[in-house]
Amino acid sequence: MNFTSRRRTHHRSEETEGPGLTALLPPPSVPGLDPDRELLLKEALLREAAVAAPRGGLTPRAARPRRRLVRVMVPAVACALAVGGVVVVNLVDAPGRGTTAAPGDRTPGTSEAAQLLDRIALAAAGEKQPTVRADQFVYIESKVAFAGQSAGGGKVITPPAHTRQVWLSADGSRPGLLREEGEPDSSLGDDAPVYDLDHRGATPRPRTAHKKAASISDPTHEYVASLPTDPDALLKLIRDETHGQGQDPDQRAFTAIGDLLAETWAPPQVGAALYKAAAKIPGVTVIDAATDAAGREGVAVARTAHGQQTQWVFDRTTYAFLGERTVLTESGDAGPAGTVVGTSAVLTRAAVDRTGETPAPTTA
């Protein structure tokens, strides 16, 4: 997961490596699919086997770093946020940096990644998801860790992963809540009051500010649910809305999709369209083995740009999205190539009625 400062409230940066997916990733059936969907999956896999190109000399392509974690945001310029004597590194698109594959990354082009994303999309389309009412909140619990650097500089240090909980108003009409282990609670989307002054000497009169419209960079659940399910139309919308948010339009799109995957709860058909849209982005590759912040190992889809690789980690059997990871692909002041500078793991997604409420634990 790349980790620049995130959309609503977070910081991260991104990207890394891999060797031979075909041997490690047999095409299993996706648990929970009905017979018709399972048949469709089998037919898709047979088509892939029939057209698979021979493995051999492969050429590298382009890529980028991550955003915000709130996996969830993407800034346009590099910056560092000083807090209590610590600088949180915001690794974003920087001009003049080239693309370098992470150590061990095969970078085979888009064919293998497109095939994997097609399987992931098919699994996502078959997921069961309850309806989220407009007056509810989407609750997401995750484990996250982001690299920091002392004010005096030096190598970045990634602390142990900690718990992150976020409550996001489904329709955007009420403030959300961010709760991170070891930090005070933060209100999300709660704009400062606006005051009108009727005349000189009058008492300022508070009024409600006009709320910003939801967007790819600042989505509500209702907005995500309304996104196009045609991958071409969806990718065009993402490119249009993220225009100007970095040097690399392909990486901007990849990062924006990753943000939506990590801290929204897209309906199944929209989720499938996001994966299919990602498959159309040049430079997307496959990492045979990657681990999320909770220690779960899976297969990853990745993109490398500006010295970082952003990885989306998926369960090897169910293709469920597990989390993100961002890895340095170039050695520098922040550390050697291969340094993990951001990692996350999505643990729970649910709809709840109020901020601070958590879903009842599920029983086997």
What is the residue-level pLDDT of the chain in tens, covering all 364 positions? Answer: 444 434 444 433 333 334 443 444 444 444 445 555 454 555 555 444 444 433 333 232 222 223 334 333 222 223 333 333 333 333 433 333 333 334 444 444 448 999 999 999 999 999 999 999 999 999 999 999 999 877 777 778 889 999 999 999 999 999 999 999 999 999 997 655 555 556 566 676 665 555 678 999 999 999 999 999 999 999 999 999 998 877 789 999 999 999 999 999 999 999 999 999 999 999 999 999 999 999 999 999 999 999 999 999 999 999 999 999 999 999 988 889 999 999 999 999 999 999 999 998 765 4
Tell me, what's the pLDDT at 96? 31
147 within 8 A of 157, measured Cβ to Cβ = yes
Sheet of 137-146: strand order equals 186-188, 176-180, 162-169, 137-146, 340-352, 321-328, 308-314, 297-305, 285-291
- Residue 157 tokens, joined: 């240090």
- List Cβ neighbours of 93 (8 Å cut-off, separation of 6 or more): 64, 65, 76, 78, 246, 247, 248, 251, 252, 305, 306
CA 175, chain centre distance (Å):
22
CA distance 264 to 45: 29
